[in-house]
Amino acid sequence: MKVIKKSHYITSFNRQHKPIIEIDLNQPFIIETQDCYCSQIKKEDTLRSQINGDLMNPSTGPIFIREVFAGDVISLEIMKIQLEDQGLMLTFPGLGPLGDLIEEQKTKILAIKDDFIYFNEEIKFPISPMVGVIGVAPKEGDIPTEYPGDHGGNMDTKEIREGSKVYLPVSVDGGLLALGDLHGAMGDGELSGMGLEIGGKVQVKVKKINTKTIKMPIVETEKEFLIIASDKDFKAASRKGILYASQIIQEKLNLNFQDAYSLLSATCDIRISQIVNPLLTLKIGLPKTLIANIFPLNI
Q: Which residues bind Zn ion (CB under 5 A)?
A: 36, 132, 181, 197
- Which of 23/36 has CB closer to Zn ion? 36
Cα–Cα distance, 249 to 264 (Å, whole number): 7
Please report how close the Cβ of residue 178 comes to Ca ion at its closest, in angstroms: 13
Write b or e for each residue in 85-123: b if 16 or more Cβ atoms lie within 10 A of its Cβ, otherwise e: ebbbbbbbeebbeeeeebeeeebeebebeeeebeeeeee
For Ca ion, the nearest residue by Cβ is 132
- Which of 195/285 has CB closer to Zn ion? 195
Q: Cβ neighbours of residue 64 under 8 Å, at least 6 residues apart? A: 19, 21, 22, 23, 174, 175, 176
Give yes or no for residue 156 binding Ca ion (CB under 5 A): yes
Cβ–Cβ < 8 Å for 56, 11: yes
Per CB under 5 A, contacts with Ca ion among 101-140 are 132
The entry of Zn ion, Ca ion, none near residue 231 (CB within 5 to 8 angstroms by kind) is none
- Which of 181/231 has CB closer to Zn ion? 181
Please report how close the Cβ of residue 94 comes to Zn ion at its closest, in angstroms: 17
Q: Could you tell me which residues are beta bridge partners of residue 108?
A: 89
Cα–Cα distance, 111 to 269 (Å, whole number): 34
DSSP state of 18: P
Give yes or no for residue 150 binding Ca ion (CB under 5 A): no
Rule CB under 5 A: choose which of 72, 159, 181, 224 binds Ca ion. 181
The entry of Zn ion, Ca ion, none near residue 154 (CB within 5 to 8 angstroms by kind) is Ca ion
- Which of 59/164 has CB closer to Zn ion? 59
Give yes or no for residue 154 binding Ca ion (CB under 5 A): yes
- Which of 183/252 has CB closer to Zn ion? 183
Residues that bind Ca ion in the complex, under the rule CB under 5 A: 132, 154, 156, 181
